[in-house]
């Protein structure tokens, strides 16, 4: 258990806030990208026969993922720059921040995939509603309510993994982190969802009604 008054506790609190907010941040960017496609001739580019749909889909996903990566690096990097100047925080290693950023970024792969499917199929309103629910669920999963079930809710992966990482990494107990976090299962789930998204876009024929 990390004390909230210790430097590590302050880092944990900040990373939890970032992880809770990330579904909403990602949804805003994804909604903009989806609506841009919808307004450009009703997904004309995405449904065009000029390029394979999977290529257009992957390029769109990469753009969103890179934007999320930039946000994560900026928010965590800015906090690190300010945090290291505070007295009594010298014992918090930079690598902790760097790995936390990597964890949050990697956990967003499945989220961006889900958000892109929802945004393309149902529109901005549905996506933003989903993101708000995800933020609330993520916050709940950080409490005792999340024990045993958080792994089934991808929106909570980043927050929970950061907590486990901050608990075990400073102790050099990475095996315990891997056992608690189950990253292998998350990787498999992410790949399955991404493959589902490729099937989705191959069968997508546009929205039946405007959102």
Task: Report which secondary-structure segment, H or E, holds 80.
Answer: helix 53-83
Q: How far apart are CA 179 and CA 147, in angstroms?
A: 14
The domain in which residue 141 lies consists of 7-203
CA 168 to chain centre: 22
Q: Is the pLDDT of residue 44 over 80?
A: no
Please say whether the beta carbons of 14 and 162 come within 8 A: no
CA distance 3 to 121: 44
pLDDT of residue 126: 94
End-to-end CA separation in angstroms for the chain: 46
pLDDT score at 55: 87
Answer yes or no: is 211 within a domain: no
Q: Residue 89 — pLDDT band, cuts 50, 70, 90? A: low
| H-type alpha helices, 150-207 | 157-168, 174-181, 183-203
Evaluate whether residue 1 is within a structural domain: no
Q: Is pLDDT at 5 greater than 60 in this prediction?
A: no
User: 90 in a domain, yes or no?
Assistant: yes
CA distance 36 to 82: 36
Q: Is residue 208 part of a domain?
A: no
- Residue 177: inside a domain: yes
pLDDT at position 9 is 77
The rounded mean pLDDT for the chain is 86
In a domain, 40, yes or no: yes
Of residues 61, 26, 45, the one with CA closest to residue 197: 61
**pLDDT over 70 for what percent of the chain?**
90
Alpha-carbon gap, residue 152 to 167, rounded angstroms: 21
Q: Is residue 37 situated within a structural domain?
A: yes
Q: How far is CA 76 from the centre of its chain?
A: 14
Count of domains observed in the chain = 1
- Cβ-in-10-Å burial (0-12, 13-18, 19+) of 173 comes to middle
């Amino acid at each position: 258990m990390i004390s909230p008054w210790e430097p590590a506790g302050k880092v944990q609190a900040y990373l939890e806030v970032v992880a809770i907010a990330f579904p909403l941040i990602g949804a805003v960017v994804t909604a903009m990208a989806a609506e841009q496609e919808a307004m450009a001739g009703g997904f004309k580019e995405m449904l065009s026969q000029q390029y394979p749909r999977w290529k257009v889909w992957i390029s769109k996903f990469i753009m969103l993922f890179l934007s999320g990566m930039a946000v994560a690096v900026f928010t965590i990097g800015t906090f690190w720059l300010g945090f290291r100047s505070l007295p009594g925080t010298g014992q918090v290693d930079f690598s902790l921040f760097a790995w936390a950023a990597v964890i949050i970024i990697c956990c967003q792969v499945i989220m961006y995939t889900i958000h892109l499917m929802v945004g393309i199929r149902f529109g901005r309103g549905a996506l933003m509603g989903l993101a708000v629910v995800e933020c609330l669920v993520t916050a709940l999963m950080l409490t005792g309510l999340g024990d045993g079930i958080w792994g089934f809710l991808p929106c909570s992966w980043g927050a929970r993994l950061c907590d486990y990482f901050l608990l075990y990494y400073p102790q050099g107990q990475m095996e315990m982190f891997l056992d608690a976090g189950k990253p292998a299962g998350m990787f498999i789930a992410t790949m399955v969802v991404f493959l589902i998204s490729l099937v989705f876009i191959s069968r997508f024929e546009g929205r039946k009604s405007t959102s």
